[in-house]
Amino acid sequence: MDDLGKVNWLPPVPKRPLPKGADDQTIVITSALPRPEPHSYDMAPLVEPIHLTTSYEVATPEAFTDDLLNRGRYVYQRLWNRTTEAAELTISQLEQAAGSLLYVSGVAALSSLFVTVLKPGDHIVAHAPCYAGLHHILEHYLPRLNMTSTQVPAGSDTQAFRQACQPNTKLFMVESPCNPDTSILDIEALVKVARDLNILICLDGTFATPILQKVIPMGVDFSLHSCTKYIAGHSDVIAGCISTRTLEQYQQLKMSQFGFTGTSLGPFEAYQVHHAMRTLPIRMEKHSANALALSQALEKHPMVNWVRYPGLPSHPGHEIAKKQMKSFGGLVAFEVKGNAEGARTFVTSLKVATLTAAIGGIKTYVNNPYSFSHGPLMMNDEDRAKARVTEGLIRLSVGLENVDDLIADFNQALDLIVPCTDHTLPGHASKEFFEQGDEVKQKYQRPRGVEDDSGYITINYERYYCSAFVPHAL
């Protein structure tokens, strides 16, 4: 990385000793900044306070520079804030990283990383599908900075990444599990390729969190998360984070955050993230258990074409996931029969789960990426086809509800996608259509249809989410 300014005056990354080999649950409960000295037990709060201040008082004009350069004291919130540092320390200890930084969003973390470690003329290798926001950055914003990218199929072996490299390749930007299809990358194998070619590697592990997958010890340079998702976990705060393998990487990102991007997280949001992490290990255990049970049930339903969950033996990356993950998280991908009509019937018929773009909350969320997260606002038809984002694809973020209630809810919604017979409709249609009497069906048939050369009448049955071609005989 280029030198973005002097970093020798940055104080050491805050640390608080923990018992050797402390469990993640112990870390999130006990992790805290060292107590200020001199310490008084008259002022020893059990919870780190929210320090809502933009600046700090200094004794003299000379003290400002002395405090900043020699004492590492707080002078300005964008550089240091005790509440934010407390959350960063917990993340760093979970990641086993040299240091961690919190950002105002996951996209802010991505953008800050790119402008810190890359320069005009550099090349990135990523994969498709990926987070739609990343795809948008790669396709539309990095070219403005004279940076280029190549995307290989998600779940590819390391040879595909090696072949995609160019002399100016500087970064592998990858996810595992991948968004939205849960593809798995062999992280240690990809790290080896990166080391061989002197390329940095950043892994977005949002769907695993540091609880289920610790990538810094595997050799990854930058571990990135959208804290909006599982880390904060309650759908009430937007934040992102990056943890680094080396102190130098941390310092470069810290200086960029302070002096260029201005993307440091505020104290109130940092408090929300820190507070939520206290239950993160317990939540991820429950997310994983529910997701496995629900994905097993989905595999058995006749209206489901396929299910992708890393915890299923049928998942192409299952063996790799077992090797590098403690458990498999709450993200499931599956495809319903009936394409767009079947997907719409399903997502609008759920009673427990919620249709939304969100992921990683305590509640179960679903969306149809073809029209939602990876829809026309973010990707064109060609890009979606390359990324295998089909009309019937469902992205499922499994929450903490009773799993039997979830299975019943999904089954009743899937049951509403009714296969058509030869004398009704080709493809799939909503059960709502078949519950109508002949008189009602006739009302919506010929008056709205246009006969074509095939002997079919084209009908707009969108209100029933069914196919568009209806035989005369109906």
Report, as residue numbers or ranges, the catalytic residues.
78, 131, 204, 229
- Closest-CA residue to 73 (of 91, 61, 55, 88): 55
- Closest-CA residue to 69 (of 78, 77, 79): 79
**HEC assignment per residue over 314-341:** CCCCHHHHHHHCCCCCCEEEEEECCHHH
CA dist., res. 253 & res. 261, Å (int): 10
Q: Got the DSSP string for 364-417? A: -EEE-TTTTTTSTTT--HHHHHHTT--TTEEEEE--SS-HHHHHHHHHHHHHTE
Which residue's structure tokens are 């000379």?
62
CA dist., res. 374 & res. 180, Å (int): 9
Kindly report the backbone phi and psi dihedral angles of residue 428, in degrees, each rounded to the nearest multiple of 5, phi listed first: -135, 145
Which residues on neighbouring strands pair with residue 395, listed in sequence order? 333, 367
Give the up-direction half-sphere exposure of residue 49: CA atoms within 13 A in the CB hemisphere: 8
- Closest-CA residue to 175 (of 333, 300, 39, 55): 333
Q: Count Cβ atoms within 10 A of the Cβ of residue 465 and give its class: 0-12 exposed, 13-18 middle, 19 or more buried.
A: buried
